Structure formats: C-alpha cells, structure tokens
C-alpha cells in the first residue's frame, strides 16, 4: 500500500535570517517539566510491566497531571519545606486482564507511585521524596473499546485518534544556545563545581537580528548557600559560565541576565530548599512545557499535544511528534541542498500508524537547488522512517528518546 506524501518548496527566509526569534526552555526542575516527567515515568513503568507480564504493551494514557506547589522557608544555610508539594497524574490504563482461571489485576497504583518517586529521586538532589511531596494518581480503568482497538492492531497498531505531529530541522543558533545553557547548568559536571545551582533552570532567548539576549533563572540551594556574598558569587559564576558556553555555540553577540527578579534592596534572592520553585507555590500541568525538541518556540510550527504519558504504541499524538522530528533531522542531515525542513504527519483514527493520512514536507531550499533534485531522496527517507516506525515505540519504552 502506498503512502500519501506531499513535498513542496517553501519560499521563506530561514530562521537565522529573520529579524526576531524567541526561544524558551523550562529546565529539569521546572514544575511543568516535573509533571511531564511524572506522567512519562508512569507510562514507561506500565509499558515495562505489561510487556513482562503479558508479553505486550496494553492500552494506557496518562497524559494529564497537576503539580501543586508547596510552601517553603529557605534561609541562607538552611531552611525547610513547610507544606509539601502535591503531585497527581491522571488518565486511563488497563487495570485487569482476562486470563484462564480469572482476571489478573494490574498494580497500577503501586507502579505509579514507584515510577514517579524514582523519577523525582533521579531528577533532584535536594528534594526529599518522602517529606517534600505527596504523590497521588487518578487512573481509571481503560474503556473496553479502546482496549479492543488496541489489541486488534497488534501487528501494526492502529492510530488511536485523528491527530498530528509536527517538527522541523535544523535548530537555530538561538535554539542550540538555549538548550545548551540548561543542559550545561544541569550537567553532572556543573553540579559538581557549582552544587549550589538548583535544577529549576529556566532559559529565555530573544534574538534581535544578530544579538541574542539570554534571561536565565537559576535557583540556589539554600543549605549550600551560607550568605548573600556566596549567593552573589555563585550567580556571577553562572553568568560567566553561560557567556563562555555561548562563545562556543554561536558567533553572535550574547547578553546574559541571571535571576532578574532579584532585588537586594528588598532582600529578594532566588533561594530554594529543594531546587524547584514548586516548593513555594509554583504549579505545573502536564503538556504545558517544552515541545518535542525540548523547547518552546512560538515562531515555529508547534503541536499542542502532550507527548508525556501517552502510550508509545498507538498514540499518534506522541509517536508522530517523535517521528516528525526524526524525519526532519534525517532529511536535513542526509539530503544536500536543504536549508530548513518542516514536517507534519497526520493520522486518521483506526488506520495503521505506518500509513498516516498524509505526510506533509515543506522545504526551504538553498539558493539554486530545484525541488526536483531532492524530492526523491526526501520521499525515500520519509518512507523508510514510516516503515521503521515501531522502532520509535521500542525506544520510547526504554526511555531513550527525550520528549520534553
């Protein structure tokens, strides 16, 4: 069966040549990231349990969640969390499987708590999972019909919805920079040299022509920060570190601002007990953070689907976003003559996921490159990627593809 693939030229300026660009990343400790991580952790745990127990991944969708901020009292050199955060994930999952000799229950609750707490422990150094957060789940039994749909497509899963995935390549310099800054500040190496820097790093990049302004929020861990002098010196180091990094990523001018809400006159600094602003009132919702490439990019096409928590077998709102991204990167990397590539993959409910309703490829070509020169190679890559779409499911179960 052939596939519907549209390939067209787009007569736009590439992103680097536009005059204004806005890019944002909510780092590993941001409330929206944390609740995304919790939703996804539950999905991965369920996948592994279903696979081990029943030999196949069963239907689930945990793509909603809420992290309610707590109340904290950080002080230089110490402090404590006063009221814990409250984290709840919501969705549906197969909770009971018919077997010979009766139904077999799936320990969805126990698995969810374990998965979320393991994620939190791995994600934070100073958040005490037992005292600083209350973890809950509201997961209902999957409706029978969805389960059926799911099982029917065991060979090639059938799309669960009419939805789409969207992505593009390559990343711009600003995008690389914003990603890089957060990655660096949350890297193992930086945590070793600057353990004071908490995980809730937020980076906003604004490019105006060839000048990039980076606004970075980077909390400090109160127990490691004995006084204001220490705080300020760490803040300086963070700034220097970012400036150094910037010179390696982009030749453009980069202005760096750190913790702009600080107000020394009023004794306001960005101090946290745990490393996340959720300890003091900031809330998060699943699907409100970074898109598939780890960024929020209002100047680019974006999907509003939450990838976190959706099942990786037939939920196209997850799979097609990963797919679009992988296709775009491969096309850009392997086909010469292309300046930028935008890909949308559309599903139709109930049809095999390797045969989307349509794959739409838009290309900004290098000057002088005709579409006909690249069309064949692009189509071939798109087809290959669709044919091997199940690899994505496998990689998602293993957690080897970053989603946000």
Cα–Cα distances in Å, from 82 out to 31, 199, 279, 345?
Answer: 18, 20, 9, 47
Which residue lies nearer to its own copies by CB, 81 or 313?
A: 81
Tokens found for residue 209: 């022509």
Min dist CB 19 to its own copies, Å, is 5
Q: Given the DSSP bridges, would you call strands 284-285 and 60-68 parallel, antiparallel or unpaired?
A: antiparallel
Site residue total, its own copies (CB under 8 A): 86
Phi-psi category of residue 79: left, alpha or beta, with phi > 0 → left and psi -120 to 50 → alpha: left
Helix (H) or strand (E) holding 122: helix 108-123
Cα–Cα distances in Å, from 90 out to 110, 114, 287, 358?
Answer: 14, 15, 12, 31
Q: How many angstroms separate the CA atoms of 106 and 108, rounded?
A: 5
Of residues 374-403, which lie at the interface with its own copies (CB under 8 A)? none
Of residues 289-318, which lie at the interface with its own copies (CB under 8 A)? 296, 298-304, 306
Min dist CB 189 to its own copies, Å, is 28
Interface residue with its own copies, options 29, 37, 74, 91 (CB under 8 A)? 91
Q: CB-side exposure of 64: number of CA atoms within 13 Å?
A: 8
**Position 323 contacts its own copies (CB under 8 A):** no
Min dist CB 77 to its own copies, Å, is 15
Which residue lies nearer to its own copies by CB, 158 or 381?
A: 158
Q: At what angle do helices 31-54 and 108-123 cross, to 10 degrees?
A: 130
Helix (H) or strand (E) holding 72: strand 71-75
Min dist CB 397 to its own copies, Å, is 21
Which residue lies nearer to its own copies by CB, 60 or 241?
A: 60
Q: How many angstroms separate the CA atoms of 368 and 56, rounded?
A: 50
From the centroid of its chain, how far is CA 333? 22
Q: Is 393 within 8 Å of 379 (Cβ atoms)?
A: no
End-to-end CA distance of the chain: 33
Q: How many angstroms separate the CA atoms of 64 and 231, rounded?
A: 36
Q: What is the 3-state secondary structure (H, E, C) of 247-282?
A: HHHCCCEEEEEECCCCEHHHCECCEECCCCHHHHCC
Which residue lies nearer to its own copies by CB, 257 or 391?
A: 257
Of residues 195-214, which lie at the interface with its own copies (CB under 8 A)? 204, 206, 208
Q: How many angstroms separate the CA atoms of 278 and 124, rounded?
A: 12
Which residue lies nearer to its own copies by CB, 375 or 390?
A: 375
Which span sits near its own copies by CB under 8 A: 9-17, 221-229, 235-243, 365-373? 9-17
Tokens found for residue 356: 């989307």
**Position 106 contacts its own copies (CB under 8 A):** yes
Min dist CB 387 to its own copies, Å, is 22
Q: CB-side exposure of 52: number of CA atoms within 13 Å?
A: 8
Q: What character string, x for contact with its own copies (CB under 8 A) and - otherwise, covers 332-371? A: ------------x-x--xx------xx-x-----------
Of residues 240-299, which lie at the interface with its own copies (CB under 8 A)? 260-261, 263, 266, 268, 280-281, 283-288, 296, 298-299
Interface residue with its own copies, options 42, 108, 353, 389 (CB under 8 A)? 108
**Position 92 contacts its own copies (CB under 8 A):** yes
Which span sits near its own copies by CB under 8 A: 90-98, 191-199, 231-239, 333-341? 90-98
Min dist CB 181 to its own copies, Å, is 15
Of residues 54-73, which lie at the interface with its own copies (CB under 8 A)? 63-66, 68-71, 73
Of residues 134-193, which lie at the interface with its own copies (CB under 8 A)? 134-136, 138, 140, 142-143, 145, 148, 162, 164, 166
Min dist CB 194 to its own copies, Å, is 23
Interface residue with its own copies, options 51, 56, 78, 110 (CB under 8 A)? 110
Interface residue with its own copies, options 113, 232, 395, 401 (CB under 8 A)? 113
Which residue lies nearer to its own copies by CB, 18 or 187?
A: 18
């Amino acid at each position: 069966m052939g596939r519907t693939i549209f390939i067209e030229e787009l007569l736009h300026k590439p992103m680097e040549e536009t005059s204004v660009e806005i890019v944002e990343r909510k780092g590993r400790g941001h409330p929206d990231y944390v609740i995304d991580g919790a939703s996804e952790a539950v999905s991965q745990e369920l996948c592994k349990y279903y696979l081990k127990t029943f030999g196949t991944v069963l239907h689930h969708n945990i793509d909603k969640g809420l992290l309610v901020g707590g109340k904290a009292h950080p002080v230089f050199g110490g402090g404590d969390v006063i009221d814990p955060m409250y984290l709840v994930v919501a969705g549906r999952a197969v909770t009971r499987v018919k077997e010979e000799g009766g139904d077999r229950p799936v320990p969805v609750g126990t698995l969810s708590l374990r998965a979320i707490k393991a994620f939190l422990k791995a994600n934070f150094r100073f958040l005490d999972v037992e005292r600083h957060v209350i973890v809950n789940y509201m997961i209902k039994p999957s409706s029978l019909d969805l389960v059926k749909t799911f099982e029917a497509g065991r060979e090639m899963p059938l799309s669960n919805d009419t939805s789409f995935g969207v992505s593009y390549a390559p990343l711009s310099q600003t995008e690389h920079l914003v990603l890089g800054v957060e990655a660096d500040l949350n890297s193992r190496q930086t945590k070793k040299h600057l353990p004071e820097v908490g995980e809730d790093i937020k980076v906003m990049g604004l490019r105006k022509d060839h000048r990039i302004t980076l606004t970075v929020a980077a909390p400090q861990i109160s127990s490691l920060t004995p006084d204001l002098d220490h705080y300020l010196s760490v803040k300086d180091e963070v700034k220097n570190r970012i400036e150094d990094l910037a010179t390696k990523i982009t030749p453009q001018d980069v202005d760096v601002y750190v913790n702009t809400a600080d107000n020394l006159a009023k004794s306001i600094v960005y101090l946290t007990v745990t490393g996340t602003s959720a300890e003091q009132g900031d809330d998060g919702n699943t699907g409100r953070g970074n898109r598939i490439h780890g960024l929020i990019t209002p100047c680019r096409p974006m999907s509003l689907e939450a990838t976190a928590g959706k099942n990786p077998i037939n939920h196209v709102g997850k799979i097609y976003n990963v797919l679009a991204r992988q296709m775009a990167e491969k096309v850009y990397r392997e086909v010469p003559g292309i300046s930028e590539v935008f890909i949308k993959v559309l599903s139709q409910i109930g049809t095999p996921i390797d045969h989307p309703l349509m794959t739409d490829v838009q290309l900004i070509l290098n000057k002088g490159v005709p579409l006909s020169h690249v069309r064949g190679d692009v189509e071939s890559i798109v087809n290959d990627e669709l044919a091997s779409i199940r690899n994505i499911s496998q990689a998602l179960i293993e957690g080897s593809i970053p989603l946000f």
